[in-house]
Amino acid sequence: MLIQVKKKISKKIEKKGLSVMIGYVLLITSAVVMGSIVYIWLESYVPREVPQCPEGVSIAVIESSCVNGNISLRLKNNGLYNIDGLLVRGSSRPGQEIATIDLTNEIDGGFIKPGGTGGLAPGEEDMIRNLSYNSKICDAGVSCEEKNVCLGNNLCPSLNHERCDASKNGEYPFTQKYDCDWIGSIDEGKCVGTATCQDVVTFGSGGNDCNYLSTDLLKICEGWKSVNYYNITSVEITPLVYIKQNNKNRIVTCGNAKIQENFKNCILFKEKTSPI
């Protein structure tokens, strides 16, 4: 009888094992639920993979010019990656640290696509032309003043030895000094320099360089024209590259690879409708 009772008691005690299991299940379930709540709450704080500009993106200006209201830049990709876009910004005020004039004229959504369809490959060069006057800049606070400008292209290559020396020294028939210099022998040399017709600053009723340079004899410049203009003291070029993320190409700015090219006497202008 006692044995029978003992067996039944032990059987009864064994049944308590089930409640231990329920305890575990409840414990695990509550832990999972709490973990899920905390995960959902903090999930947004998990940093996402962000496309970044790879190190080794680099660009260089091989040649630059600012002639007749247009800036041209010959650029070389001297980095390790394709360059898919370029932000080109200009500064117009002396001492301006941030270039705020958009010279791309909002081509292709605000940036220039250099090179072919695949961008500018490492080692490749490309000429960026016609970075010109943008009237939107005037609406955006840049002072687009009026002035008379001697229109035309480079001055030096059209000058012979005698005139090249005269322009360099500001001697007759020139009334000011220009950045022109004769290189080589008198017979086989050439006049080189950065001077353009826009460097002609004198303008008056008397004789002036632009009139002289525009005569049938020389035809280097096109003569005086009234224009709206703004100065460009320097140009900042920032490369952009496409980075693939989640099967999508994302354009990334490479601020660390930004370069600057300084200009002297560079004006971008638009001819006024009524010439003087």
Partner 1 sequence: MIQNKKVLKSGFPYIYMKNNKKGLSPVIATVLLIAMVVVIAVIIFLWLRSMTQETITKFEGENVELTCDRVEFEATYLDGILDIANTGNVPIFSMKVEINKGEAGFETKDITELSSMWPPNGLNQGGIFSGSVSLDSGVEKIILYPVLLGTSDEGQKTYFCDKDSNGVEISLIAG
Query: Which residues here bind partner 1, judged by CB under 8 A?
Result: 1, 4-5, 8-9, 12, 26, 37, 43-48, 50-52, 87, 89, 93, 95-102, 110-111, 140-142, 238, 240, 251-253, 255, 258
Output 25 or 186, the one with its CB closest to partner 1.
25
Structure tokens at 95: 């001492």
Query: Min. distance of Cβ 97 from partner 1 in angstroms?
Result: 5
Considering beta carbons, is residue 15 or 264 the nearer one to partner 1? 15
Residue entry with tokens 């703004």: 230
Nearer to partner 1, 227 or 257 (CB): 257
Query: Do 220 and 152 form a contact (C-beta atoms < 8 A)?
Result: yes
Task: Give the C-alpha separation, 131 to 67, whole Å.
Answer: 11
The Cα–Cα gap between 91 and 97 comes to 8
**Minimum CB–partner distance for residue 3 and partner 1 (Å):** 11
Distance CA 71, CA 90 (A): 10
Beta-strand relationship, 248-253 and 180-183: unpaired
Nearer to partner 1, 159 or 237 (CB): 237
Q: How far is the CB of 22 from partner 1 (least distance, A)?
A: 8
Considering beta carbons, is residue 43 or 187 the nearer one to partner 1? 43
CB of 271 to partner 1, least distance (A): 25
**Please, which residue, 45 or 172, has the CB nearer to partner 1?**
45
Number of neighbours of residue 31 by Cβ within 10 angstroms: 10
For residue 33, the minimal CB distance to partner 1 (Å) is 9
Query: In the complex with partner 1, which residue's Cβ is closer, 161 or 258?
Result: 258
Judge whether 66 and 233 are in contact, CB under 8 Å.
no
Helix (H, G, I), strand (E, B) or coil at 97: coil
Tell the smallest beta-carbon distance from residue 260 to partner 1 (Å).
13
Task: Please say whether the beta carbons of 105 and 52 come within 8 A.
Answer: no
C-beta of 106: minimal distance to partner 1 in Å?
11
Name residue 196's beta-bridge partners.
154
| Three-class DSSP category at 240 | strand
At position 100, the amino acid (one-letter code) is T
State the Cα–Cα distance between residues 130 and 247, nearest whole angstrom: 35
Distance CA 258, CA 236 (A): 7
